[in-house]
Amino acid sequence: MVRELYEIIQANVLRASEGLNVLEDLAGFCRDGGSVSESLRSLKADIRNSLVEPLPDGLTYRQSAGDGVFPGSREYVADMIHGLKLLKDNFEKVQKALGALVAILDSAGESEFAKRYEDYRLAACDLEKTLYRIYCRDMKKKKLDTDLYCLTAEEYSLGRSNIEVVKAMLSAGIRIIQYREKEKKMLHKYRECVKIRELTYDAGAVFIVNDDVDLAIMVGADGVHIGQDDLPADKVRELVGEEMIIGVSTHSPQQAQDAIARGADYIGVGPIFATKTKKDVCDPVGFEYLDYAVKHVAIPFVAIGGIKEHNISEIKARGAGLIAMVTEIVGAEDIEKKIESIRQKLKG
């Protein structure tokens, strides 16, 4: 093989190795990414060892300008979107390098050697799909890691608009807000959701749309929450992709396990107590189902239904980490003070 061709091959092997190095680190910091990290390390070694003359030690750790570096600590969760971009950019880098190797070697009549790099490219494709799913799952779990889950309910908000209520919630440090307005016309809901998306994005809060998958997609919401009479979670996933959060209302262990099997990112557990905020609500499930969820539900869940300041401590004491409140917050004279008071109860 002529020296010039070898140098081109070496440059692309180095480029692929650089991308795999970043991806290996990224996978290593994902909760379930250990096996993918090992596979990426193995693929990187195979690619490096494919050269007749091996790369000098340390060359695969060179960082080209603009490549991006993944932080070497679990502080990465504070910037999950940056990590997702690193994932996409570095897999693209690997694919381009390996694709170039296939084309170069084919044109040089080295079809057997080209086939080896095509196999590496296909292996990288499979690893990208796996790591993307794992990373998205971690990213969504991080977004759901908070204490209070607030919902809009304009009819109970003492004459205030949903926008005013959401601003007060965000000012009080609420990290998840669900837009739930079933009776309004679509254009009005769309306009409200566009504004709420802007507010929640600026505040770094999660925005969930109730029931309407199309509306959630149109406004760029973080997630959609569906009920038992809506499309199943696996079909919704086909519409919204891996990055969007899907929540499912459940009222029994059977419904919980079905939602998990269909790929829900979290479930609603309730109603714990009697509630009138939903017209089609089922009977209260009480503490029995909540206790089941605490012990047996492996994904995040939110306790919901009739929860007030006077009973939230018991919900917390039973093991619920994320708790939804509707009228207790939107119907408060001072929403910020109410949230502060509720959080004091949770701390106690």
In angstroms, the first-to-last Cα distance of the chain is: 73
Nearest to 79 by CA among 139, 144, 126: 139
| Residues pairing with 324 in the sheet | 149
| Cα dist from 289 to 282, 301, 311, whole Å | 14, 12, 17
Exactly one of 121, 137, 180, 316 is catalytic; which is it? 180
Q: Which ranges in the chain belong to alpha helices (H)?
A: 3-28, 34-49, 80-107, 111-143, 162-171, 186-203, 213-219, 233-240, 253-261, 286-296, 312-317, 327-330, 335-347
Nearest to 246 by CA among 258, 236, 231, 261: 236
Per the annotation, the verdict on 175 as an active-site residue is no
By three-state DSSP, how is residue 325 classified?
strand
Q: Which burial class, exposed, middle or buried, applies to 309 when counting CB atoms under 10 A from its CB (0-12, 13-18, 19+)?
A: middle
29, 74 contact by CB (below 8 A): yes
Distance CA 169, CA 321 (A): 19
Query: What token pair was written down for 170?
Result: 């965000």
Distance CA 9, CA 54 (A): 12
Which residue in this structure is represented by tokens 């996409």?
A: 88
Binding-site residue numbers are 178-182, 210-211, 230, 249, 275-278, 306, 326-327
Per the annotation, the verdict on 249 as an active-site residue is yes
Binding-site residue numbers for Mg(2+) are 211, 230
Residue 236 sits at the vertex; the CA angle it makes with 234 and 241, to the nearest 5 degrees, is 95
Exactly one of 41, 48, 96, 278 is catalytic; which is it? 278
Query: What token pair was written down for 152?
Result: 């809009």
| Residues designated catalytic | 180, 249, 278
